[in-house]
Chains A and B, each alone.
Chain A
Amino acid sequence: MRNHTTDEQMLEDLFAEAQSQPAEPSPAFMARVLADADEEQAGFATAELANAPAATGFSLRAVFATLGGWPALGGLVTATAVGIWLGTTSLTGVSDTAATYLYGDSALGGLNADYAWLDTMGDA
């Protein structure tokens, strides 16, 4: 029999007893909670992978971005069109002028005169 002077003291005694006897979780229950944690953690990893951009594999979008996007594509289209036009049209006037500059008589004739002495070497 426990001697107590008041009901309040009895209540404090019961609180103290309850505090000293917490509901201890069983190992099986702890394992169940930990299994939930593992499952949830695995879900985080899957979600991260799903949200991440593709690291490998061919992607037209990636190639487009690497080239510089729409502004760069505009320049590429223009350059390609000019190249095709130059390759498919006959530019005789331009060809004649280029030949004159590269192989013209005046330029080659000057060179022949400057180095004519080479022909006489070894004759003496």
Chain B
Amino acid sequence: MAFDDTTELGDDALLILFANGDKQAAEALTRRLVPVVLAHAFRLLGERSEAEDVAQEAMMRLWKVAPDWRQGEAKVTTWLYRVTANLCTDRLRKRRSVALEDVPEPLDETASAPEQIQDKARMDALQVALSELPERQRQAVVLRHIEGLQNPEIAEIMEISTEAVESLTARGKRALTQALSQRREELGYSDA
């Protein structure tokens, strides 16, 4: 590995390099972590610009904590998922005072072909169904079934037991199935 090759280094090693003034470490961490944080924030909030605000704030908190980071004590992504989820919860609490019909529907001018429209409709339907879940259920389902994390890591992020994670994901999936089953045909799925 070349001395300046940051691609092979772990997140925590990069964070310590960043705290020591390494510019390449900042770039490597941004490339590696921003997509993860943004995707998670988007799944929890369902709105792109709000997700960007949350992702930027979560990353800012990471930059600030870097000088005090102790290598090997915590996983950077676990810490970031937790910070992102907390920031999303704050946003959702503020949002509750706003009526659902007042929130503008996101528009995508580029989607024109029928297949693209239906793909988008499917993803929107999933997002709407996710948004209707209780926050903890939504977070557990997103981490397990969209981010693809294992239950022990989700338990660490959410600071609960793995059994509680299993319970949350199971209940979340049941609620999603129920909500989406009524829209099978609309979403392009036929009965068996």
Interface residues of B in 51-84 (CB under 8 A from A): 51-52, 55-56, 59-60, 63-64, 66-67
Q: Is A94 an interface residue (CB 8 A)?
A: no
Number of chain A residues whose Cβ lies closer than 8 Å to a Cβ of chain B: 33
Q: When A22-B39, A33-B30, A37-B18 are in contact, do A2 and B188 touch as well, CB less than 8 Å?
A: yes
A7 touches B126 (CB 8 A): no
Q: Which of B34, B122, B123 has a CB less than 8 Å from the CB of A30?
A: B34
Number of chain B residues whose Cβ lies closer than 8 Å to a Cβ of chain A: 46
Majority DSSP secondary structure for residues of B touching A:
helix
Q: Is B168 an interface residue (CB 8 A)?
A: no
Q: Which of A23, A33, A36, A44 has a CB less than 8 Å from the CB of B21?
A: A44
A41 touches B39 (CB 8 A): no
| Partner-A contacts on B (CB < 8 A) | 18-19, 21, 23, 26-27, 29-31, 34-35, 38-39, 42-43, 48, 51-52, 55-56, 59-60, 63-64, 66-67, 119, 122-123, 125-126, 145-146, 148, 173, 176-178, 180-181, 184, 187-190, 192
